Amino acid sequence: MTALVPVILCGGTGTRLWPLSRATYPKQYWALAGSGEDTLLQQTHQRLEGIAGLQAPLLICNEDHRFIVAEQMRQIGVEPGAILLEPMGRNTAPAVAVAALQATAHGDDPLLLVLAADHVIQNAAGFRSAVETGMAAAEAGQMVTFGIVPTAPETGYGYIEAAEPLGSAAAPVPIARFVEKPDRATAEQFLASGRFTWNSGMFLFKASAILAELERLAPDVVSACRAALEHDSEDLDFLRLEREAFASCPNVAIDVAVMERTDRGAVLPLQAGWSDVGSWSALWETAEQDAEGNVLRGRVISEASSNCYLRSEHRLVVGLGVENLVVVETDDVVLVAHRDRAQDVKTIVGLLEREGARESKAHRRIYRPWGSYDGITEGERWQVKKIVVNPGASLSLQMHHHRAEHWIVVSGTALVEKDGVEELIGENQSTYIPLGCKHRLSNPGKIPVELIEVQSGPYLGEDDIRRFDDRYGRSDATLDG
């Protein structure tokens, strides 16, 4: 039986789904599609279940997101073959090269199914069938890409032209060319020809085949990635690529590096309700709508409104007599936009970045390997946070030079270490951490610990931390507990 290894690419920041998707917590880690609580990343793996020969996935992500990826895989009972950490983004060709090198490191030569972690596919059974159809061609050495059968003359996607009309093709068809995003008139011609599909960015090929083509067409990519892997370092359950070697790798997509130049490319038409969820309007289109055409998520009331996407993460959102709007509420931002302007959200993100606004990249709630913290309010010499520590987790042993802290437990039981002395603090109990005290906060229980932290002092920046011990292998340069 042919082994099939999913390669799930978890990079990208998804700025067009701001303010929900941000650099510190991009869209692939949010539950955006369907009515359940599974995230786009989790759904990406779950829709593969049942494919013959399926092996543990290889996940490639930014090192800042490693604990998010590991936790989301743990939640669905998946133990990855490896989680490879990129020190910086270098596009998809290096990511695929690293995955192929890792997959063949011990003499194996599986099929690699390259998937983005942030796509929606409504017909999972149809997708699995397409993968199984493409496996024979990939096993024979073809480089298969999944082309989405177009439903409209979209100008926001790249296109793939097949060497012959696709009709009801039941097997991959040789690729004639890739075409960049066309204008509308050209896109209409593409649809009429019956030869074109949208470029989904999903691929299927043998590990040895893609390595051979990368060596032939983009050898500098392979040499840099090989060096990054040869000098990698194990970090708990992760493989951290060597920074300097990976930084020398060209920033290039696998389409450009290989698929547009190889003579082994083939396109397999796919009709499975695919979307790259590239905007709030795209998410509205793919989601289940009510009788008035609204998509409502969270604590939302809609009255006499139509064709809206209304989403609340915290506060009540009321849509009264409005049409064709996108309204997204988060802990620190409310977006109100006409659906036709949803693609322009990235312009607002760019404006915020130029202003140095925190909201461009981070939420108020910040996730850490031990849990999360949420900045509630602050003053000139004080600030208040809500801290959540997961069961069995622990912050680093640390001290602060410029601030003192007061902890009040509101749920669960915390184990607090202060200058070598341990004490258990239960619900409605508190403890004081004076300036300069060496301390650690842990959760020995089976439910999350929630506490309120009041900080006071002349300087409250997160870089006021000196670590003495950390189970997650972080240094003083990695901030926030």
Regarding whether 449 and 338 lie in a shared domain, the answer is: no
Across 399-403, average pLDDT: 95
User: What is the reported pLDDT for 2?
Assistant: 86
Q: What's the rounded Cα separation, in Å, for the pair 22 and 13?
A: 6
Regarding whether 117 and 41 lie in a shared domain, the answer is: yes
Across 257-267, average pLDDT: 94
Regarding whether 130 and 32 lie in a shared domain, the answer is: yes
Residue 155 vs residue 115, higher pLDDT: 115
Regarding whether 294 and 200 lie in a shared domain, the answer is: no
The alpha carbon of residue 144 and the mean position of all alpha carbons in its chain are separated, in whole angstroms, by: 24
Whether pLDDT at 283 is above 90: yes
Regarding whether 29 and 94 lie in a shared domain, the answer is: yes
Regarding whether 380 and 346 lie in a shared domain, the answer is: no
Whether residue 310 lies inside any domain: the answer is yes
Q: What's the rounded Cα separation, in Å, for the pair 28 and 158?
A: 21
Whether residue 480 lies inside any domain: the answer is no
User: What is the reported pLDDT for 471?
Assistant: 85
Across 68-76, average pLDDT: 93
Q: What is the CATH number of the domain that holds 405?
A: 2.60.120.10
Q: What is the CATH number of the domain that holds 113?
A: 3.90.550.10
Whether residue 177 lies inside any domain: the answer is yes
Q: What is the mean pLDDT of the chain?
A: 92
The verdict on whether omega for the bond into residue 19 sits within 30 degrees of 0, i.e. cis, is yes
User: What is the reported pLDDT for 324?
Assistant: 97
Q: Which of 275, 290, 321 is the last residue of a domain?
A: 275
Q: Which of 318, 353, 388 is the last residue of a domain?
A: 353
Closest CA to 309 of 357, 345, 272: 345
DSSP secondary structure, 351-382, as one string: HHHHHT-GGGT--SEEEETTEEEEEEEE-SSE
Model confidence at 35, pLDDT cuts 50, 70, 90, reads: low
Across 185-191, average pLDDT: 91
Whether residue 476 lies inside any domain: the answer is no
Cα dihedral 31, 45, 12, 349, rounded to 10, equals -10
Model confidence at 481, pLDDT cuts 50, 70, 90, reads: low
Regarding whether 239 and 213 lie in a shared domain, the answer is: yes
Whether pLDDT at 259 is above 50: yes
Residue 243 DSSP SS3: helix
Residue 350 vs residue 367, higher pLDDT: 350
Regarding whether 58 and 162 lie in a shared domain, the answer is: yes
Q: Is 398 within 8 Å of 370 (Cβ atoms)?
A: no
Whether pLDDT at 476 is above 60: no
Which residues does 362 contact at the CB level (< 8 Å), separation at least 6? 22, 23, 24
Q: What's the rounded Cα separation, in Å, for the pair 48 and 124?
A: 8
Q: Which of 328, 353, 378 is the last residue of a domain?
A: 353
Using the structure block, give the residue that is written with the tokens 């990249």: 361
Regarding whether 292 and 393 lie in a shared domain, the answer is: no
Whether residue 475 lies inside any domain: the answer is no
Closest CA to 9 of 31, 28, 33, 24: 28
Domain count along the chain: 3
Regarding whether 151 and 76 lie in a shared domain, the answer is: yes
Across 367-376, average pLDDT: 90
Residue 162 DSSP SS3: strand
Helices (H), 23-165: 40-46, 66-75, 92-103, 124-139
Task: Supply 180's token pair.
Answer: 């960049």
Whether pLDDT at 478 is above 60: no
Regarding whether 182 and 126 lie in a shared domain, the answer is: yes
Regarding whether 336 and 384 lie in a shared domain, the answer is: no
Model confidence at 477, pLDDT cuts 50, 70, 90, reads: very low
Task: Supply 74's token pair.
Answer: 């743990």
Using the structure block, give the residue that is written with the tokens 């309120």: 452
User: What is the reported pLDDT for 231?
Assistant: 81
Each residue's pLDDT tens digit, 449-467: 999 999 999 999 888 899 9
Across 49-54, average pLDDT: 93
User: What is the reported pLDDT for 12?
Assistant: 81
Q: Is 146 within 8 Å of 203 (Cβ atoms)?
A: yes
Whether residue 359 lies inside any domain: the answer is no
Single-letter code of the amino acid located at 416 = V
**Structural domain containing residue 162:** 4-275
| CA angle at 104 for the pair 100 and 107, rounded to the nearest 5° | 170
Q: What's the rounded Cα separation, in Å, for the pair 181 and 171?
A: 26
Whether residue 61 lies inside any domain: the answer is yes
Whether residue 50 lies inside any domain: the answer is yes
